[in-house]
Chains A and B, each alone.
Chain A
């Protein structure tokens, strides 16, 4: 292992803001996508049982 302290790990040999800037944005993007997907599906699922055939879009014959 090349890290002698926690501080050294976060400093990334002077490239800390580039390395952590990459990883932080990637983590944020993934977490936001997961949250959005879960919330969207939950909302649609809740609505599913209550839908009525008021418009013709996508209705089965």
Chain B
């Protein structure tokens, strides 16, 4: 099948494509979210150590994963825009940042609410939590920097450099529980060994993670549509768009 993917590298052709994809991804997010929550609350058993407080992980872990994944994808788009000078790549980076920041906030918030009953504290300056907080500041810094520069092309370049330098923080977050003796526990799920949790718990968490993926993609695609309209507002095709 010969699909010309480069066709969609132009904002003009990507704008309607994104418009068709947003409802699909959000529908997927709702369906997966409903299944994941059902498993999380009605199928997964009570944890023998933590009681019911562990049910926070069904949103904590997906939010924390997304906070890191979105950052890497954002930096990759920003870097691509920097190297190839492609407008749409930079717009994708701009569109991902706020959703990434929200995921980071949710990871920290749900982590605090889980930590209080489990560890007896809302917050500790351990490596995992501190590096996740730095991730939030990186997202905020990226958005503030882009907002402070009037020329969008220069804003893209400056943002890309910040995003690329900040990538070093992502492996620090991920491996912090191995590298340092952190209050935060080690990974419950990894690619190299069997997960240390009940099957239903794991299944619920993975389905919720997929729901968060679908939601985030939909949110980024809808935001990039707005970014395209803002930046291309003087282009002929935008002015000829039918109302809707």
CB distance from B95 to the nearest CB of A (A): 10
Partner of B63, one of A2, A26, A34: A26
User: Knowing A37-B219, A58-B234 touch, does A12 contact B229 (C-beta < 8 A)?
Assistant: no
Residues from chain A with a CB closer than 8 A to the CB of B226 are 37, 40-41, 44
Task: Tell me the complex Cα distance, A60–B235, Å.
Answer: 6
Q: Is the CB of A29 within 8 A of B239?
A: no
CB distance from A7 to the nearest CB of B (A): 13
A-B contact pairs, 10 of them (CB 8 A): A22-B113, A26-B63, A29-B105, A33-B102, A40-B226, A41-B222, A44-B230, A46-B243, A47-B233, A58-B232
> What is the interface of chain B, defined by CB distance below 8 A to chain A?
41-43, 45-46, 51-53, 55-56, 59-60, 63, 98-99, 102, 105-106, 109-110, 113-114, 116-117, 150-152, 215, 219, 222-223, 225-226, 229-236, 238-241, 243-244
> What is the interface of chain A, defined by CB distance below 8 A to chain B?
1-3, 9, 12-15, 18-19, 21-23, 25-26, 29-30, 33-34, 37-38, 40-41, 44-49, 51, 53, 57-60
